[in-house]
Homo-oligomer: A and B are copies of this chain.
């Protein structure tokens, strides 16, 4: 049905068979509607979206990519937007409102229910990257002395507001968090039991100002589905569910991929070639500078080169190897650190291991390079120089790659991001200096 719809959407719209279309859309999961919409051009997207009833529209909006969502929100009349936002959980509503221009924010906040509006205003105060920025205020709580029957009644009344209900949080008279009761336990307990009798301690509690990455780590460590958020005094503020955490984790991974390639996710959402170029240029100019510095070093040895032009042929191989060896060892060290397998005391152990690995790699590649140099240019001395300098360059590059994440961590710079470009540039320079230096030292052998 989804495929039929994707193919026939345009035809149905043009034939003005909107009733039929509405009927089809009603039968689809919001995630499927979003998928169908993503494949359409903006104008058609807006027209189809306008056919959705507000509740479904709110669900579909949240399933769209950030790009399509922003695009669509900009085309919506403020009244329609307010109606849609009114159907969202407080955390999702806050995300949408936060992206609006200031004048629209106020209109939307004034048009939705006063309770909802107060919640969104409260959530807007938290930094987007903290627990407060991803928590929702919808939850079910009960006081310690309340009974199972009373809480079940509360779920019956308030339940529709709270999605993915796994736990009822137990609080004292001051709304301070005391523990939790799982839905399963509630189901099996006799109605007259009091919450304090059946509650268990929360596996972990999140502080409202904790960094969202830190929250994600806790969720993964404890395999949690949801967790309560409290303020400094332990008062229950809201809760975070695992899908919010999923989003955080994927954002971070994505960011890493883009940064490693020297660009940014922003690119995907821009059609302006100048904007895109501006995002990519810093990284390229760094490369240009690194390349020119390396070139300058080569130039310092121009006398050697003029005498033995064959030396030039191994510059690309030395540069390529040094970079790769460095990235390999820094990746392994970064991952070992992330998995907690390298404490500060073990760094010398790691370095020694990398050193031995590098010796083997250096021997193999150096021997390969030496043989090619020997038989290609027919000179044993050139083979010796290429082999020895490749071996030394590879060993040094591996050590540099292994040390730099630890150094960056000390300096409080994310080792995963900083070590890549830095290591590559350093290794180009180290490799060229070694190669040309050794060649110059043994120049008499060569000419």
| Interface, chain A (partner B; CB < 8 A) | 29, 31, 35, 38-39, 63, 65, 67, 152, 155-156, 159, 164-166, 183-184, 186-188, 203, 220-223, 225, 242-243, 246, 253-254, 257-258, 260-263, 265, 267-268, 271, 273-274, 276-277, 280-281, 283-285, 287-288, 290-292, 294-296, 298-299, 302, 305-306, 309-310, 312-321, 324-325, 327-328, 331-332, 335-336, 339-341, 343, 353, 356-357, 360-361, 364-365, 368-369, 372, 428, 432
User: What chain B residues lie within 8 Å of A343 (beta carbons)?
Assistant: 39
Minimum CB distance partner of A244 in chain B? B223
Q: Which of A324, A364, A365 has the most chain B CB atoms inside 10 A of its CB?
A: A324
Q: List 29 A-B contacts (CB under 8 A).
A: A29-B203, A31-B223, A35-B221, A65-B339, A67-B341, A152-B187, A156-B188, A253-B253, A257-B331, A257-B335, A261-B327, A267-B332, A268-B341, A277-B361, A280-B357, A284-B325, A291-B314, A291-B316, A291-B317, A292-B314, A294-B320, A298-B312, A299-B310, A302-B309, A302-B310, A306-B309, A316-B428, A319-B319, A320-B428
* Chain B, residue nearest A352 (CB): B273
20 further interface pairs, Cβ-Cβ under 8 Å (given A281-B361, A295-B314): A35-B340, A155-B188, A159-B188, A164-B225, A183-B183, A261-B327, A261-B328, A262-B324, A263-B328, A273-B360, A276-B357, A280-B357, A284-B328, A288-B368, A290-B316, A291-B318, A292-B314, A295-B317, A298-B313, A299-B310
Whether A246 lies near B261 (C-beta < 8 A) is: no
| CA A432 to CA B265, docked complex, whole Å | 31
How far is it, in angstroms, between the C-alpha of A277 and the C-alpha of B353 when the chains are bound? 11
- Copies of this polypeptide in the complex: 2
Chain B residues near A368 (CB-CB < 8 A): 285, 288
Shortest distance from the beta carbon of A76 to any chain B beta carbon, whole Å: 21
Please tell me which one of the listed residues B166, B186, B361 contacts residue A280 in the complex, with CB atoms under 8 A apart: B361
Interface centre among A39, A203, A294, A312 (most CB of B within 10 A): A312
Nearest B residue to A187 by beta-carbon distance?
Answer: B187
In the assembled complex, the Cα of A292 lies from the Cα of B353 at a distance in Å of 29
Expressed in whole angstroms, the minimum distance between the Cβ of A343 and any Cβ of chain B is: 7
Residues of chain B within 8 A (CB-CB) of A327 are 261-262
**Contact among B166, B320, B325, B335 with A290 in the assembled complex (CB-CB below 8 Å):** B320
Whether the Cβ atoms of B312 and A312 lie closer than 8 Å is yes
